[in-house]
C-alpha cells in the first residue's frame, strides 16, 4: 500500500496553477486567489500622526511634571495643524497630523486643561504616541504576494492603498461524477433497495467552500456508455473531475474502463489510510481526475486530506498544505491499526493548553452523522497503539476546507 504522506504529496504536486487571470472589484474579491504581486503606492501613515487623543508638544517643555502650557490650536483628524510654537501645546485627536516642531504626544488622561492652558501631569519622553510616516506600509514595498487567498484583511490593505480592484485567477471548474443504479437524488421517493445520493451535494459543497465555481454534477447509471458519456462531458468543460465509487475491479465498477476507453491513464492506489483506502489519480486529455471511494465518510476524508491540496495547487494558491495542530486523545480504549487512522473528533479546551480530542462513537466509513458533528480528523499513525492522554496530530476542518 502507498503510505499516506506519499499519496498526499503526489496529489499536491499534480496541480498546475491556472494560466489566465481576470480583474475584479473589491467587493468580488473575498475567496479569490491573487494572480500578481501587489506593491504599495503610498506611505501609510502618509504623515506622522497621533496614536492618542491628547496634546502635541516638545518634550523639553514638559520636562518637569506639572508644567502648564498655553493651548495654541485644536486640530482634528483630516485638518492640517500650524507649526507648533515653542513653549505651547496643540490639542490633537487620534489620527491628527503631528505639527511641525512637536516631538511627543501626551494622552489626555495625563493632562488637565483649563482656561486655554493645559497642565502636563507626567514628564513625557520624546516620540511617545506618534505613528511615523510609512511605518505600516512604505511606497514600493511588496504588500500582498501572488497566490494569496484573499479575505477581509487583504481587502483592507488593498483599499488603504487606493486599489479598487485586483487581478485574480479564474475560479476553478470542477466536475463531479457519481455512479450507481441504487442512487436517487434527494427530494425524490426511494424505491426498494435504493438510497439518496448524498455524495454529490456533499462534494459540491466542499468544492464551493474551497472557492471553486459551483461544480458541474453528473450521475451515470451502471452502464458503460452512460459512464463514458458523462465522464467525457465533464472532462471537456472542467479543470478537475472527481468521481465517486466505481473505480475498483468489481463487475459494475465502470469508471476505470471508461477512463481507458477515453484514452486516459489511471494509477490505482491502495493508500494506507482509514477511512479511504481506495484512491485513483487519472490523467485524461491533460487534466487530472481523482476517483474517490464511494462510502460518504471515506469520500469526505479523502477529499479533505488528499484532494483539497490538489485543488489549492490548481487554484494557484501559495499555501497548499494547511497547518497541522496537536491535541490530547480523550478515549476509553486503545486505538491504532496497520493503517493511518483518521478519527472524526471534536476538540475542547484541555487543562494542559492543548485541546482534548474526543472521537465520535461511530467511526465506520458509512457513518455520516459523524461528519456533521466533527471539528476535525485526528491522525493515529500506522502501527501505533495509543492510550488515553497520547498527544497526536489533528487536522481542523476549519483549516483544511477553506
CATH classification at residue 122: 2.170.190.11
Asked, for residue 255, whether it belongs to a domain, the answer is: yes
Q: What is the pLDDT of residue 251?
A: 59
Say if residues 255 and 228 touch (Cβ distance below 8 Å): no
Q: How far apart are CA 276 and CA 342, in angstroms?
A: 9
Asked, for residue 138, whether it belongs to a domain, the answer is: no
Q: Which of 270, 266, 296 is nearest to 371 (CA)?
A: 296
> Hey, what's the cell of 274?
482509514
Q: What percent of the chain has pLDDT over 90?
A: 91
Say if residues 176 and 215 touch (Cβ distance below 8 Å): yes
Asked, for residue 259, whether it belongs to a domain, the answer is: yes
268 and 386 belong to one structural domain: no
148 and 59 belong to one structural domain: no
The tally of domains found in the chain comes to: 4
Q: How confident is the model at residue 269 (pLDDT cuts 50, 70, 90)?
A: confident
30 and 82 belong to one structural domain: no
Q: pTM of this prediction?
A: 0.91
pLDDT in tens, 313-355: 999 999 999 999 999 999 999 999 999 999 999 999 987 789 9
Asked, for residue 136, whether it belongs to a domain, the answer is: no
Q: What is the pLDDT of residue 32?
A: 97
267 has a pLDDT exceeding 90 = no
Q: Where is pLDDT greater, at 250 or 212?
A: 212
Domain at 286, CATH number: 3.40.980.10
Question: Across all residues in the chain, what is the average pLDDT?
Answer: 95
CA angle, residues 349, 352, 353, in degrees to nearest 5:
55
Q: What is the pLDDT of residue 253?
A: 78
Say if residues 71 and 117 touch (Cβ distance below 8 Å): yes
Q: Where is pLDDT greater, at 280 or 216?
A: 216
Q: What is the pLDDT of residue 367?
A: 86
Q: How confident is the model at residue 88 (pLDDT cuts 50, 70, 90)?
A: very high
Mean pLDDT (whole number) for 231-256: 85
Mean pLDDT (whole number) for 246-270: 81
254 has a pLDDT exceeding 70 = yes
Say if residues 254 and 205 touch (Cβ distance below 8 Å): no
How are the residues of the chain apportioned to helix, strand and coil, as percentages rounded to the nearest 5? 20, 30, 45
Q: What is the pLDDT of residue 309?
A: 98
487543562: which residue's cell? 351
Of 258, 280, 314, the residue at which a domain comes to its end is: 314
37 and 153 belong to one structural domain: yes
Mean pLDDT (whole number) for 144-169: 98
Q: How far apart are CA 114 and CA 126, in angstroms?
A: 24
Domain at 152, CATH number: 3.90.105.10
Q: What is the pLDDT of residue 194?
A: 94
Q: How far apart are CA 195 and CA 198, in angstroms?
A: 9
Of 314, 349, 376, the residue at which a domain comes to its end is: 314
Mean pLDDT (whole number) for 101-115: 97
194 and 125 belong to one structural domain: no
Of 262, 292, 314, the residue at which a domain comes to its end is: 314
Asked, for residue 109, whether it belongs to a domain, the answer is: yes
97 and 162 belong to one structural domain: no
Q: What is the pLDDT of residue 292?
A: 95
Range of the domain at 69: 49-131
98 has a pLDDT exceeding 90 = yes
252 has a pLDDT exceeding 70 = no
Mean pLDDT (whole number) for 203-229: 96
260 and 369 belong to one structural domain: no
121 and 249 belong to one structural domain: no
Termini Cα distance of the chain: 29
Q: How confident is the model at residue 248 (pLDDT cuts 50, 70, 90)?
A: low
Domain at 396, CATH number: 2.40.340.10
282 has a pLDDT exceeding 60 = yes
Q: In 85-116, which positions are buried (b, 16+ CB within 10 angstroms) versus exposed (e)?
A: eeebbbbbbbebbbbebbbbbbbbebbeeeee
Contacts of 281 (CB under 8 A, 6+ apart): 10, 11, 14, 266, 267, 269, 288, 289, 290, 291
230 has a pLDDT exceeding 70 = yes
379 has a pLDDT exceeding 70 = yes
Asked, for residue 319, whether it belongs to a domain, the answer is: no
pLDDT in tens, 25-74: 999 999 999 999 999 999 999 999 999 999 999 999 999 999 999 999 99
Mean pLDDT (whole number) for 1-6: 92
189 and 265 belong to one structural domain: yes
264 and 179 belong to one structural domain: yes
Asked, for residue 68, whether it belongs to a domain, the answer is: yes
250 has a pLDDT exceeding 80 = no
163 and 33 belong to one structural domain: yes
33 and 71 belong to one structural domain: no
Mean pLDDT (whole number) for 144-149: 98
Q: Give the other-Cβ count within 10 Å of 187's Cβ.
A: 6
Amino acid at each position: 500500500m502507498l503510505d499516506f504522506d506519499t499519496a498526499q504529496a503526489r496529489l499536491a504536486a499534480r496541480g498546475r496553477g491556472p494560466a489566465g487571470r481576470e480583474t475584479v472589484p473589491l467587493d468580488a474579491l473575498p475567496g479569490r486567489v491573487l494572480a500578481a504581486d501587489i506593491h504599495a503606492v503610498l506611505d501609510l501613515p502618509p504623515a506622522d500622526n497621533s496614536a492618542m487623543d491628547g496634546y502635541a508638544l516638545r518634550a523639553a517643555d514638559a520636562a518637569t511634571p506639572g508644567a502648564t502650557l498655553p493651548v495654541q490650536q485644536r486640530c482634528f483628524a483630516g485638518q492640517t495643524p500650524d507649526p507648533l510654537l515653542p513653549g505651547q501645546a496643540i490639542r490633537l485627536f487620534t489620527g491628527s497630523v503631528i505639527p511641525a516642531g512637536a516631538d511627543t504626544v501626551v494622552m489626555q488622561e495625563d493632562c488637565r486643561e483649563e482656561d486655554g492652558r493645559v497642565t502636563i501631569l507626567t514628564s513625557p519622553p520624546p516620540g511617545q504616541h506618534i505613528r511615523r510616516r510609512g511605518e505600516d506600509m512604505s511606497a514600493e514595498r511588496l504588500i500582498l504576494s501572488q497566490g494569496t487567498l484573499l479575505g477581509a484583511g487583504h481587502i483592507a490593505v488593498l483599499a488603504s492603498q487606493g486599489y479598487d480592484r485586483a487581478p485574480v485567477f479564474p475560479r476553478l471548474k470542477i466536475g463531479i461524477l457519481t455512479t450507481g443504479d441504487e442512487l436517487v437524488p434527494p427530494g425524490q421517493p426511494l424505491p426498494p433497495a435504493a438510497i439518496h445520493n448524498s455524495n454529490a451535494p456533499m462534494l459540491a459543497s466542499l468544492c464551493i467552500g474551497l472557492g471553486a465555481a459551483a461544480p458541474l454534477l453528473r450521475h451515470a447509471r451502471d452502464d458503460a456508455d452512460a459512464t463514458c458519456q458523462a465522464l467525457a462531458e465533464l472532462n471537456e468543460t472542467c479543470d478537475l473531475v472527481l468521481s465517486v465509487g466505481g473505480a475498483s475491479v468489481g463487475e459494475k465498477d465502470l469508471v476505470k474502463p471508461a477512463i481507458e476507453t477515453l484514452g486516459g491513464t489511471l494509477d490505482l492506489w491502495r493508500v494506507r489510510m482509514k477511512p479511504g483506502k481506495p484512491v485513483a489519480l487519472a490523467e485524461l486529455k491533460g487534466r487530472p481526475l481523482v476517483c474517490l471511494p464511494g462510502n460518504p465518510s471515506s469520500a469526505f476524508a479523502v477529499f479533505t486530506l488528499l484532494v483539497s491540496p490538489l485543488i489549492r495547487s490548481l487554484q494557484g494558491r501559495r499555501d497548499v498544505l494547511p497547518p497541522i495542530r496537536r491535541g490530547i486523545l480523550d478515549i476509553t480504549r486503545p486505538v491504532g491499526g496497520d493503517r493511518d487512522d483518521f478519527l472524526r473528533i471534536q476538540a475542547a479546551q484541555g487543562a494542559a493548553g492543548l485541546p482534548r480530542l474526543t472521537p465520535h462513537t461511530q467511526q465506520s466509513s458509512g457513518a455520516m452523522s459523524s461528519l456533521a458533528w466533527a471539528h476535525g480528523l485526528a491522525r493515529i499513525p500506522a502501527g501505533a497503539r495509543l492510550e488515553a492522554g497520547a498527544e497526536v496530530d489533528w487536522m481542523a476542518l476549519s483549516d483544511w476546507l477553506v
